[in-house]
Amino acid sequence: MTVGQTLPGGGLAISDGSFPNVFKNELSDASFGVRSPIYLDQVTTSGNRVSSTAIDSSQITSSFASKSELALNISSNGQTDSFMGHAAPKNTLDVSNSNTAAVFDSTNPVGSTYSRAIGSVNLSTGALQVTNVNS
């Protein structure tokens, strides 16, 4: 990202893509967000990290700015952890506010289309299953 670049949700970039300056671009693009890889951390009750599992970012990513993603839900049998994200490459901009394949809103300032995705991780094997959805 370069200063002056047109952003997908409107406006021009006022900062480059360096962390944490990249998030200053939210001032000129209300839909601003950057897709990033997901990591699931196992922690003790005292907050110490036991392990970290990288989720395959070619299948599902999350956005720093999104409030509707990555809420962890454990299955009733305790075997699977699920969460929401998007089927979008890492470093893609404004995905959280994009259109879905089933419904394109021509008034949306973000003209791109990406599927939301449900990630499910088997807690015993670490196997990932991703289901793309239209919501």
* Length of the chain, in residues: 135
Mean pLDDT of 81-95: 91
How many whole angstroms separate alpha carbon 16 and alpha carbon 25? 8
Which of 38-52, 54-68, 116-130 has the lowest average pLDDT? 54-68
pLDDT at 67 over 90: no
Confidence of residue 119 (pLDDT cuts 50, 70, 90): very high
Q: How many CA atoms lie within 13 A of 101 on its CB side?
A: 10
In the block, residue with structure tokens 């499910």: 120
Confidence of residue 65 (pLDDT cuts 50, 70, 90): low
Give the mean pLDDT of the chain. 90
How many whole angstroms separate alpha carbon 63 and alpha carbon 104? 21
**Residue 19 confidence (pLDDT):** 85
Q: Which two tokens stand for residue 13?
A: 């970039």
Please check whether residue 23 is in contact with residue 36, taking contact to mean a CB–CB distance below 8 angstroms. Answer: no
**Residue 14 confidence (pLDDT):** 94
pLDDT tens by residue, 9-20? 888 999 998 888
Mean pLDDT of 56-67: 84
Please check whether residue 59 is in contact with residue 86, taking contact to mean a CB–CB distance below 8 angstroms. Answer: no
Confidence of residue 81 (pLDDT cuts 50, 70, 90): very high
Please check whether residue 35 is in contact with residue 90, taking contact to mean a CB–CB distance below 8 angstroms. Answer: yes
